[in-house]
Copies of this chain bind each other. A is one copy, B any other.
Amino acid sequence: MVKYPERLDRTFAALVDPTRRAMLARLEREGSASVSELARPFAIKLPAVMKHLDVRDGARLITRSKVGRTVTVRLSPGPMREAMDWLRRYERFWSASLDRLAAYAESKEAEMREKDR
């Protein structure tokens, strides 16, 4: 069993590459896809796709199943949810920053009105 900080490491590492992110986005839209379907939009060969998938496999972002010669890939939501939960705590920080910005803008506006009188 991989521990939580290590799982987060792997998930974020798997998300670094834009091709990998595009594949995840496609799996999200379509539910599942075969490896060759996943490869099609990219100018990369099947072994390269398999390598991308292996990285995500290590991060447990996908599950694979094989029927005959076709390997079907599905998204496995757990690790990405953890990554998002980790990031979510910063929302408080962003909202606070936006509140401060709004308060600042309002005080500037009030100042301008004072001057115009």
Contacts and interface: CB of A to CB of B under 8 A. Distances in A.
A91 B28 CA distance: 10
A64 B27 CA distance: 39
Contacts of A58: none
Given A12-B12, A16-B16, A21-B8, A75 B93 contact: yes
A15 interface: yes
Contact of A8 (B5, B9, B18): B18
Given A9-B16, A13-B16, A15-B12, A80 B90 contact: yes
Give the interface residue-count category, chain A. 20 to 34
A45 B73 CA distance: 44
Interface stretch (A34-42, A49-57, A81-89, A108-116): A81-89
25 contacts: A5-B18, A5-B21, A8-B15, A8-B18, A12-B12, A12-B13, A12-B16, A13-B16, A16-B16, A21-B86, A24-B90, A25-B89, A28-B90, A28-B93, A75-B90, A75-B93, A77-B90, A77-B97, A81-B90, A83-B87, A84-B84, A84-B87, A84-B88, A84-B91, A87-B87
